[in-house]
Amino acid sequence: MKKNALVAQSGGPTVVINASLAGVVDACLKSDEVGVVYGGCNGIEGILNHQIIDLGAQVSTDELINQLKLTPSMALGSCRYKLPKEADHPEVYEQIRNILDALNVGYFFYIGGNDSMDTAAKLGEYFARKGSDIRAIGVPKTIDDDLAVTDHTPGYGSAAKYIATSVYEVLRDVRSSNFKTVLVLEIMGRDAGFLTAAAAMPRFTGDVAPHLIYLPENDFVMAEFLEDVEELLKTEKQVVVAVSEGIHFADGRYVCEGEDPSKQEVDSFGHKQLSGTASYLAQVCKEKFGVRVRSIEYGALQRCAAHCNSKVDVDEAFEIGHVAVKAALEGETCKFVCVTRVSNNPYTVEYSLIDTKLVANAEKKAPASWFNERKNGLTQEAADYILPLIQGNIPLPEKNGLPDFIKLNLTDYVTVG
Amino acid sequence: MKKNALVAQSGGPTVVINASLAGVVDACLKSDEVGVVYGGCNGIEGILNHQIIDLGAQVSTDELINQLKLTPSMALGSCRYKLPKEADHPEVYEQIRNILDALNVGYFFYIGGNDSMDTAAKLGEYFARKGSDIRAIGVPKTIDDDLAVTDHTPGYGSAAKYIATSVYEVLRDVRSSNFKTVLVLEIMGRDAGFLTAAAAMPRFTGDVAPHLIYLPENDFVMAEFLEDVEELLKTEKQVVVAVSEGIHFADGRYVCEGEDPSKQEVDSFGHKQLSGTASYLAQVCKEKFGVRVRSIEYGALQRCAAHCNSKVDVDEAFEIGHVAVKAALEGETCKFVCVTRVSNNPYTVEYSLIDTKLVANAEKKAPASWFNERKNGLTQEAADYILPLIQGNIPLPEKNGLPDFIKLNLTDYVTVG
């Protein structure tokens, strides 16, 4: 009997998370072995609430698949729900299995980052242990690029392209003014600095800036930072600094906590909510050097700027959706789709399947070889890694001067059982 | 004898200020009546310091003109120098005239906003009164769109397209989360809300958000704002609010001053430096409603996002450069290039020349007919004005995955006299 598929999305948004979704749906629709392609709204949390739509019916043409592919941020909605351990809450696992069985789902695809891969791994193992033939495949995404094992993760390339492009534009902006200025740019990245590293790309392609760059892989030393800025101000009219939101002092305190530690918030995974690092450092420079200071906090803009997508990233994300479906149809489970870089020139990759457990909850960081001795700049190795991932751009179709993004009906639920 | 041309840029950056520069240079290079095309670095301030380059020689091909056209932020640098009154400092006027005479300049083009048009007007009048045949033409630019007389100003359309596009993307970003959220977006505009109004375009093209929008044309009433948010939170999972940086209470105090009035800075024209309005309002909502809040301050990003340019804007800016040169060659002086909208469907404009004095130091504001009764939303009239200006996009040529912007040599000065 033909089995159905269920796909859902989880974690934070990226520009290409729907490209992977489109890839999954496209491959399922084109396969004779898959019946209905269900979409779970708001991740596992929504699936538990029976918020499941007939996604295949809503994107039934190549044109709609393409529109979905170029639409940023989870079209199915997301969740930050952390699946409990089976030992603690076996009923949750049973409930999910019952829902999937009721819908005759044989293929389950979960698109997300670290925490989502953890969910996919737990479910896949549970299904296997219980003798169910439901196959669970993880489809990676994250702008942080901090997933272990894989060379890079869909979503990173587009975020990196936006950051590199925008920083290059901002360099022109700050230079058009005649004032002595310190500009500090703040980029996402709690523990891994891959995305902030993209800010250095103008410097690797012929510009002199950004002059300084600080990633959370190293301890931040305020005295050295101020020394470096002071030295640069002797010769440069504008000093441009890029920092990760997650940079911290040697004692582990975040740099932004210098401002007002009482304002710190924590998300549902216990991660501290960070912000204000750039404005804090700018303020420190202002007080110390008496120059004009500016800061830019990219915030949500860096994870949804579809209008500045990377073609390489979009195409890979879509392809990875196809690879995930192929794997499930071939009987694989508890796997995620891994990218291996074969060559930089010409840029080529291979896809393979790796145990989801190897990536779930494991975090990758930028290697030591990416940093100069002073830890205030990057080496050519970083550029060699990043530049191939930000090549090309797929222009968005326009309607009324705005991008023509897809609008799914997320309330037309199917009946479960 | 053939006369030379001198062109310079002043004020704040826009995406298309170099498109106007490219238009001026292109028209001069193609005219038999113009000799050398000089570029003044850092506006009038640089010209007074003899920082003048042979710009025509640096952009001598159509390819280079096109590259200049698509490069954001003053390629010649800028200044915020306020030309004194002739009565107070006649020697400054004489000095400028001597420099222009030494270079055999007959055509002077100044690209900028309100303050720059004031400079162009003062110089043009001075030249005329002294019997000089140097013609001074103002070429308008501003992202604020607050220049009087003209229907709209180059630079506005691209900034508006970026804001409208980014807000549309951010709406998808905030909705992909499952949390009750108030998101406040802060857009530039000290006294005029034209650019903030562009944030409403998703709502006029089929979306329900942004739900609330506040422009500096109206007094901001905190109690009404909180009432409106409270009402919306009853039915909406995410409430999105767009505000101008310059919104103020009825007593004239800026909304952001509520946070810490002592932090206010003033620029060289005596304008207050604003920021923090969105984060302040978000904080107020958090305390009042206990929901998750987010804020985005677009800052410099909204005036340099060349990768999201408006084709209509780029093309008009270039054309206005041509019109300025034609006017100067026909003997006009003390004029600026004005845009009149002939029709919205199809969108067509006409260019004409207006006394620079009429625009210098005069400010335009969004008309009362743009606002709903509650002053928390816009009417269709605003959309009818904005939408034609954000149509189309000219993709930027890429190099190494980054935009291939032009790099002028700004230190190879010509000898003056």
For the residues A17-23, what does the mean pLDDT come to?
Answer: 98
Band of residue A84 on the pLDDT scale cut at 50, 70, 90: very high
Answer for the pair A359, A336: CB distance below 8 angstroms, yes or no. yes
* A contacts of B305 (beta carbons < 8 Å): 166, 169
Alpha-carbon span A405 to B167, nearest angstrom: 13
Question: Which parts of chain B have pLDDT scores under 70?
Answer: 259-275
CB-based contact A405 B172, cutoff 8 Å: yes
Predicted pLDDT of residue B267: 47
CB-based contact A73 B175, cutoff 8 Å: yes
Active-site residue, selected from the candidate residues B26, B115, B118, B144 = B144
CB-based contact B301 A299, cutoff 8 Å: no
Active-site residue, selected from the candidate residues A144, A145, A146, A315 = A144
Tally helices (H) and strands (E) across chain B. 14, 15
Nearest chain B residue to A43 by CA distance is B178
Domain B158-304 classified CATH 3.40.50.460? yes
What pLDDT digit, counting tens, does each position of A355-392 carry?
998 887 788 999 999 999 999 999 999 999 999 999 99
Q: Select the residue from A79, A166, A173 to test the B interface by mutation, using most B Cβ atoms within 10 A.
A: A173
Tell me the CATH class for B3-154+307-361+392-403.
alpha beta
* B contacts of A174 (beta carbons < 8 Å): 300
Beta-bridge mates of residue B110: B8, B138
ipTM of this complex: 0.94
Residue ranges, comma separated, of all CATH 3.40.50.460 domains in chain B are 158-304
Assigned token pair, A229: 């800025």
A25-49 burial code (b ≥16 CB/10 A, e <16): bbbbbebeebbbbbbbbbbbbbbbe
> Which is it for strands B335-344 and B135-140: parallel, antiparallel or unpaired?
parallel
CATH number of A156-304: 3.40.50.460
A and B: number of Cβ contacts within 8 A: 160
* B contacts of A407 (beta carbons < 8 Å): 206
* B contacts of A156 (beta carbons < 8 Å): none
Residue ranges, comma separated, of all CATH 3.40.50.450 domains in chain A are 3-143+308-361+392-403
Residue B240's φ and ψ, nearest 5 degrees, are -115, 130
CB-based contact B296 A294, cutoff 8 Å: no
* A contacts of B304 (beta carbons < 8 Å): 169-170, 172-173
Assigned token pair, A197: 């590293």
* B contacts of A73 (beta carbons < 8 Å): 169, 172-173, 175-176
Residue B157's φ and ψ, nearest 5 degrees, are -60, -40
Residue ranges, comma separated, of all CATH 3.40.50.450 domains in chain B are 3-154+307-361+392-403
Alpha-carbon span A252 to A250, nearest angstrom: 5
Predicted pLDDT of residue A259: 45
CB-based contact B301 A301, cutoff 8 Å: yes
What pLDDT digit, counting tens, does each position of B95-121 carry?
999 999 999 999 999 999 888 998 999
Q: Residue A269: pLDDT above 70?
A: no
Residue ranges, comma separated, of all CATH 3.40.50.460 domains in chain A are 156-304
Nearest chain B residue to A45 by CA distance is B178
CB-based contact B304 A173, cutoff 8 Å: yes
**Residue B380, burial from CB neighbour count under 10 angstroms (0-12, 13-18, 19+):** exposed
B403 → closest Cβ in A46, A165, A170: A165
CB-based contact B13 A173, cutoff 8 Å: yes
CB-based contact A168 B402, cutoff 8 Å: yes
**CATH for A3-143+308-361+392-403, options being 1.10.357.10, 3.30.565.10, 3.40.50.450, 3.40.50.10490:** 3.40.50.450
What pLDDT digit, counting tens, does each position of A194-250 carry?
999 999 999 999 999 999 999 999 999 999 999 999 999 999 999 999 999 999 999
B151 carries an active-site annotation: no
Band of residue A267 on the pLDDT scale cut at 50, 70, 90: very low
Secondary structure (DSSP) of B169-195 = HHHHHHHTS-S-EEEEEEE--SS--HH
Nearest chain B residue to A406 by CA distance is B172
